[in-house]
Amino acid sequence: MTRPPHAVESEWTQLAGAPKAREVFDPAQVADLPGPARRWLRHAIAPGTPLSPSVELTMRGTIRLGAWHSFTATQVLAPACGYIWAARTRMFGLPVGGTPLSGSGTSVGTSSGWSWTSGQWVRCAAC
């Protein structure tokens, strides 16, 4: 599992500990999504199901950074606040990592190791 870089540890902790709202699923919440996503969510989540304020995911795969590289990543998602995706790979035999962050409010560019050619790097704002 990829640990979040030290530079974003406080933001990670903040998102992972997002306030435990008592929100429950209402099919109207997904009414504006594209049809396939809307149908899947309405099928997968029963009305009235308590919604989690945040979730941590781990993943592995390949990413194209000039050439294709294997990577591992961990992501914390807090829909009401933002996300952090912390990834690690190797380039030329050396370990490298990148951490895009997104949040509501003000954004400031940041990077931790990778020079990306696409995507936006933003710092997570307070929830």
Are residue 38 and residue 62 in the same domain, yes or no?
A: no
Q: What integer pLDDT is reported at residue 62 of this predicted model? A: 92
User: 108 falls in which pLDDT band (50, 70, 90)?
Assistant: very low
Query: For the segment 69-104, what is each residue's pLDDT rounded down to a tens digit?
Result: 999 988 888 877 788 888 888 888 888 887 776 664
Are residue 14 and residue 61 in the same domain, yes or no?
A: yes
Are residue 64 and residue 13 in the same domain, yes or no?
A: yes
Report which of residues 29 and 98 the model is more confident about. 29
How many separate domains does the chain show? 2
Tokens standing for residue 22: 């008592």
How high is the mean pLDDT of the chain?
Answer: 75
Long-range contacts of 97-104 (CB under 8 A, 24+ apart): 97/2, 97/5, 99/4, 99/5, 99/7, 99/8, 101/8, 101/11, 103/11, 103/127, 104/80
Instruction: Note down the domain range covering 46.
Output: 20-52
